Structure 1
Amino acid sequence: MTATVPETGNDRHDTAERLLRSSAELSFDPTTQVDWETPLDRDYHGMSPEWSSLYGTRYWEEMTEEQRKELTRHESASVASTGIWFEMILQQLVLRDFYAKDPTDPAFQWALTEIADECRHSIMFARGSAKLGAPAYIPKKRVVALGRVCAAVYSGEAAYASILVAEEVLDVMQRDWMRDERVVPFVRTINNIHVVEESRHMKFAREETRERLQGAGKVRRQVQALFVAMAAYEIVTAMWNEDLYANAGLDRERALREAKGNEHHKALLRSSCAGLMEFLSSCGLLTKPALYFYRRANLI
């Protein structure tokens, strides 16, 4: 598979300046722009029902509409909790990368702007999950431990491509949710804020990935591709916490079994990652070992 990573020259500098201008012109304050005061309306879903891990299964068909809405509220909170977990890793990766670098560089200033965005997003997701009536869906201890390792050792293209994977997967599903009038209004607002601001983060992550890969040899690409794929697997599989089914009042074991075999959900994940996989391929990061993890996570 041939990598086509272009020379960037001053592109990185120009991109950072554009992102800083965009941030100044269009950013949000979730503390005032999300409706936190109106009580939760349980007539709404927490996410587009088609994105539910049980949508299209026999279990879904047996559930009442109230049960489906309760389930999607817990699923939405679970995805948000995973988002918080990864955003905290992201902040550590970016801080380590720009530690003691030139603060007059627009890329340095953009990195701090992105970290500030992520702090607001994490608080927004936390408040949103609480309003949905869900508990904290923290990933498994093993995954949390792996996240600590990732935050401590990932660097360069492995760090930025992993950031991109997490952001791209969330972006696609949240674009659906924010337009869906079946979804509770405050969640739609949260998703809209995240989509708008994360579009800048994804642009930066793509540019940084290309920049760091310039001159990289085959062995380095093979190793980094594997690191990114392993991170992608852990991120995506953590999004639907196993405890959410019982908390939504369902039979946990049956729900887990049917969710695991849900071809509709797998197809939705695969289709949402088409653009991401094309980008990784263009960078030489879609190797055979990496494909193993993407397939296991139903991303390809």
Structure 2
Amino acid sequence: MAVSTPRPETQNQPLEDGIARRLLESSEQLSYDPLTEVDWETPLDEDFHGASPEWSTLYGTRYWAEMTDAQRKALTRQEAASVASTGIWFEMILQQMVLRDIYAKDPTDDTFQWALTEIADECRHSIMFARGAKKLRAPAYRPHRVAVELGRFFKTVAFGEAAYAAILVAEEVLDVMQRDWMRDERVVPFVRTINNIHVVEESRHMRFARDETRKRLARAGWLRRQIHSVMIAVASYVIVTSMVNRKVYANAGLDEARAVREAKANEHHKSMLRSSCSGLMEFLTSVGLLTRPALYFYKRAHLI
């Protein structure tokens, strides 16, 4: 863990840079190096889950009741790896949107420097997730081709509040589930460490995304709000529905077709997603981004 003395704020610092300066100081005081903080050397212990079982897409189904303890643990390890792979995919989108947003802006501003700090964090997180998935003995789970192309389009056209609110949606959902996983002693220790690192560092990213969303919306008219609210909702739907690849079931030794059917009908998992997004939905409502058209996609993704 890197620790340094925070820089004092300057007398003439612009007001809008205040949050960025505090986030930079927080990063200086509390940041992690996954290469040294995570135990990469100890072999995988298959007596542990990869995620809290209550977060499994099959938890509470008939299939779950029929599965052996070993099968349940194997499934949660594959699901955790799939979530990590989806995280890498979206973090790559995030980095490109942030870089485009700060392109040609004043590099001496705290906001510019915080944006680069966030990108550096995301690079480390992506490597950490990749190594974690490999240690969980999972293949490279990739989103469906349609999702990949939609992500390519979104990262190209999204700007302002559309970019930052979409970042917030993805991070909020991950944050709630990972807070459960990092405290759960049933989860394999190295995954708990990964989740702890991500939760600590992403809390700063979410603070920045909220602030930027509010700031950009202050200059947005009614039509722009309507368009961006739908763009954010569609991005949220694609992200959330891509988190668990259907191939996790076969790789855990299960009947893929049956598992997919039961997972789609699993009301417990849907309720977990809704509960994880309650704070997020309150924020979107408060800034006027939870419009009627947007609600359709959030409901389809079981986020509300």
Could you tell me the TM-score, scaled by structure 1's length?
A: 0.96
Counterpart residue number, 2:149: 145
Aligned with 1:89 (options 74, 90, 93): 93
TM-fit CA distance, 1:217:
1.8
1:247 partnered with 2:256: no
Does 1 or 2 have the higher relative contact order (CA < 8 Å, sep 6+)?
A: 1
CA RMSD of aligned residues (A): 0.9
Counterpart residue number, 1:40: 44
- Report SS of the residue matched to 1:71: helix
Counterpart residue number, 1:79: 83
TM-fit CA distance, 1:12:
3.0
1:117 partnered with 2:118: no
CA contact (8 A) 1:12 1:208 kept: no
TM-fit CA distance, 1:134:
0.3
**Given residue 107 of structure 1, which amino acid in structure 2 is its aligned partner?**
T
Counterpart residue number, 2:274: 270
**Given residue 271 of structure 2, which amino acid in structure 1 is its aligned partner?**
A
- More moved, 241-250 vs 194-203: 241-250
CA distance in 2 between counterparts of 1:143 and 1:230 reads 11
1:218 partnered with 2:219: no
CA contact (8 A) 1:160 1:209 kept: yes
Q: What is the number of equivalent residue pairs in this alignment?
A: 292
Counterpart residue number, 2:159: 155
Aligned with 2:202 (options 194, 198, 202): 198
TM-fit CA distance, 1:215:
3.2
Query: Quick one: structure 1 residues 162 and 11, their matched pair in 2 at CA, closer, same or farther if it must change by over 3 Å?
Result: farther
**Given residue 149 of structure 2, which amino acid in structure 1 is its aligned partner?**
A
Counterpart residue number, 1:232: 236
Aligned with 2:140 (options 132, 136, 139): 136
TM-fit CA distance, 1:112:
0.1
Task: Give 5+ residue unaligned stretches, structure 1.
Answer: 1-8
**Given residue 231 of structure 1, which amino acid in structure 2 is its aligned partner?**
A
Query: Quick one: structure 1 residues 10 and 287, their matched pair in 2 at CA, closer, same or farther if it must change by over 3 Å?
Result: farther
Q: What's the CA shift string for 1:59-81, capped at 9, x where partnerless?
A: 00000000000000000000000
Aligned with 2:67 (options 63, 66, 71): 63
Aligned with 1:31 (options 28, 35, 41): 35
Query: Quick one: structure 1 residues 16 and 56, their matched pair in 2 at CA, closer, same or farther if it must change by over 3 Å?
Result: same
Q: What's the CA shift string for 1:173-202, capped at 9, x where partnerless?
A: 000000000000000000000000000000
Aligned identity (percent) is 74
Counterpart residue number, 1:289: 293
**Given residue 55 of structure 1, which amino acid in structure 2 is its aligned partner?**
Y
TM-fit CA distance, 1:10:
5.0
Task: Give 5+ residue unaligned stretches, structure 2.
Answer: 1-12
1:207 partnered with 2:211: yes
CA distance in 1 between counterparts of 2:14 and 2:171 reads 25
Q: What's the CA shift string for 1:193-248, capped at 9, x where partnerless?
A: 00000000000000000000003221111101000000000000000101111111
- Report SS of the residue matched to 1:46: coil
Counterpart residue number, 1:12: 16
Aligned with 1:105 (options 85, 104, 109): 109
- Report SS of the residue matched to 1:198: helix
Q: What's the CA shift string for 1:17-67, capped at 9, x where partnerless?
A: 000000000000000000000000000000000000000000000000000
CA distance in 2 between counterparts of 1:250 and 1:203 reads 40
CA contact (8 A) 1:229 1:293 kept: yes
CA distance in 2 between counterparts of 1:12 and 1:81 reads 34
